[in-house]
Structure 1
Amino acid sequence: MTPVSALCFFALLAGCSSPEPPSDNEIAEVLDSTKRNLVFVEGGEFWLGDVGNEAGVPFNPLNEDNKPPKRVELDGFSMLKTEVTWGDFVMFLRDVGRAEDYTIDNGFTRAVSLPIISSDDPVSPNYKYKPARSPNFQEAENYCLWLAEKAELPFSLPSEAQWEYAARNRGQAIAFATDTGEVELDKYLRGPSYQIDPMQPVSGNVLIHSLLVVERRPVGSYPPNPLGLHDMTGNVAEWTRDWFYPGFAHLSTRNPVATQPSRQHAGKRVVRDLAGRGNHIGGYATVYGRMGRSLDSYFQGFRCVVNQPEPIN
């Protein structure tokens, strides 16, 4: 048994017991760090969807679900500069008494890859600073609503338009949400799974690797985009709060969000940052890649926004 698989095994064993609820101080620390990690994104107008490069060539030629672009206007909002961490997410599940719902004993077979326990060990796949992978859409949404209740601020998952606007540096025609707008792939996870070393130094400016490999870098390991947001290309894919529709014709032009499911794709929400799923062929890893995932899909990460048109003090 490899060190990583052994840690997964012991995490599973520990996950079978009922976790203690967090203390008030632990929750206060999460709220304080969350507020410190908010980045204000000034509102404005932009073309939502694949606008193409200067030569008119689409960034994502194999996908028609992001065309034609639609002109929309957004109010300002604040967004978490990193994906929600595994440690913060597990604390939320402990606080609301649902951590023990996601165990093999309770029928959650995916606990093999998502044991609900947080670790202080950087080598562990459950290291607290690695990105959370919610066991379903509802718990990702619930986390942001939990923040809203605790912090008394209008937190939510980002709308698809908010997500893309922020990833594109307030709507610029760029391909990737990195520091340079281009990708320099980290060499991490490129070898056989038995050679994975979580302590391998970071290289490049983005991690794009198969979703089948659960291991990821701690949030914020790579340089942020010009707005100060990390990992909006790569690491893990991210939930938005929109129901999935092909294209954008259904959306309003001001602060758009799809609040009703489509008949054709009922039960699917929009997931962005397909680079976090390892997709890279035909431009799917660009900031224009999008897909609908069922509500019980369990490998997506997420970040939260505050729907307030001025910065948070």
Structure 2
Amino acid sequence: MLRTERLKVIGLTIMPIFLVACGGLGGADGDSSVSRIVENAIENQVFVEGGEFELGDVGRPDGSAYVTLVDHSRPAIEVRVDSYSISRYETTWGQMRVYYEATGRLSQYEASPFKQRYVTSPTDDRLSPYFRNKPARVPNYGEAEGYCDWLAQETGLPFALPTEAQWEYAARSRGREVAYATDSGEVQKDPYLRRPTEYVDPSIPPSGNTLIHSSLKFERRPVGSYPPNSLGLYDMTGNVAEWTQDWFQEDYYEQAPRDNPSGPEKPANPDRPEKTVRDWGGHGDSMGGAGTVFMRAGEPVSASGTGFRCVVNHPEPIN
């Protein structure tokens, strides 16, 4: 039984959205998996009311910068973002597998070294690094963008990767002056991955409020293992780093537009195009303020190992 809804996006009528009221689409297992992913993608969107905020490293109370290794996040600038929705969770191994299968993408990686590590089959084993509810790390930027585009096609909603302004605005709970996207705005690291690899025990329950350790270990916690920030968003500090849609430019804040900034129009280096990655705490980096919500840096679009979440660019709540 299908329910059809129409929404208006910035004054334009979009295609009908088909939500499953009961059962799968056509009853097939694959279709059922797709329908569940689509339903969850909509249900897990958190509405973020737009507004003005200071994008960038606003500095500690004593005036010193949070990020000291690079100055990419300075100067902080006053910008405005429109309302949008953003996924409550990072995209998981299980969700990515359904996308790869539904779009015929698996064949692209048959002979690829990425196949076993980044395009792998998820498992129901909670102790496995590939447990279906642990955050996926994709083989390149294109698959992150492709997943959000696929959701847009399946739903008729304007799913996309977030701009880095959208990402930071949400991570900072609508622009609050906090350094970490945690329940307290501060960080209490889970010591989970500090042990030698052979002694890492996935059965140990999470503790603290984020996982920022270690870039040398592949294991991560299931999404939503730690308390969310005040908007209800999980793992925007720690677990895995996240792609944004913006081309990376070191001094972008010095010339960014103040209204809905979305990055440079083209890569700074066409021979090595890079997109902006946020939450470097998710890569395991924390020295020099790299674990804060202000840290930004570029990754080549061909780089593997980064996660992501999608937004819906619609001015009203979609769920």
Match of 2:232 among 210, 220, 228: 228
From 271, 275, 282, the counterpart of 2:277: 271
* 1:54 Cα deviation from its structure 2 partner: 2.5
- CA–CA distance in structure 2, aligned partners of residues 24 and 110 of structure 1: 26
| Structure 2 counterparts to residues 148-187 of structure 1, below 5 A | 148-187=152-191
Kindly indicate whether residue 60 of structure 2 is the aligned counterpart of residue 53 of structure 1. Answer: yes
Stretches of structure 1 lacking an aligned partner (at least 5 in a row): 1-20
Residues 227-284 of structure 1: CA deviation (Å, up to 9, x unaligned): 0000000000000000001131332211110252233475000000000011111111
Matches of 2:294 and 2:197 in 1, distance apart? Answer: 30
Q: Within the alignment, does 1:89 sit opposite 2:96 as a pair?
A: yes
Q: Deviations over 1:86-139 (max 9, x none)?
A: 100111001111123224xx1x22334335211111112111000010110000
Q: 1:131 aligns with which of 132, 135, 140?
A: 135
Alignment check: 8 A CA contact 1:22 1:91 kept: no
What is the alpha-carbon distance in structure 2 between the residues aligned to residue 272 and residue 89 of structure 1? 20
Q: Select the residue among 76, 81, 98 that pairs with 2:83.
A: 76
Equivalence map 1:240-279=2 (5 Å): 240-247=244-251, 248-264=253-269, 266-279=272-285
Quick one: distance in 1 between partners of 2:56 and 2:259?
Answer: 15
TM-score (ref. length: structure 2): 0.88
Aligned AA (2:303): S
Give unpaired runs (5+ residues) of structure 2: 1-27
Aligned residue type for 2:131: Y
1-structure distance, mates of 2:58, 2:167: 16
Identity rate, percent:
47
Q: Secondary structure at the match of 2:80?
A: strand
Q: Secondary structure at the match of 1:165?
A: helix
Check whether the contact 1:22–1:95 (CA below 8 A) recurs between aligned residues. Answer: no
- Structure-2 separation of matches of 1:100 and 1:207: 33
SS of the counterpart of 1:23?
helix
Aligned to 2:209: 205
8 Å CA contact 1:22–1:94 kept in 2: the answer is no
Match of 2:69 in 1: 62
Q: Which runs of 4+ in 1 moved over 4 A?
A: none
Cα displacement string for residues 125-170 of structure 1 (whole angstroms, at most 9, x for unaligned residues): 1110000101100000000000000011000000000000001111
TM-score normalised according to structure 1 size: 0.89
RMSD over equivalenced CA pairs, Å: 1.5
Say yes or no: does 1:37 pair with 2:41: no
Question: 3-state SS of the aligned residue for 1:189?
Answer: helix
Three-state SS of the structure 2 residue aligned to 1:173 is coil
Q: Give the match's secondary structure for 1:119.
A: coil
Alpha-carbon distance in structure 2 between the residues aligned to 1:22 and 1:133: 25
Structure 1 residue 224, shift from structure 2 partner: 0.1
1:140 and 2:133 matched: no
**Alignment check: 8 A CA contact 1:62 1:282 kept:** yes
Aligned to 1:303: 309
Query: Post-superposition shift, 1:61?
Result: 2.2
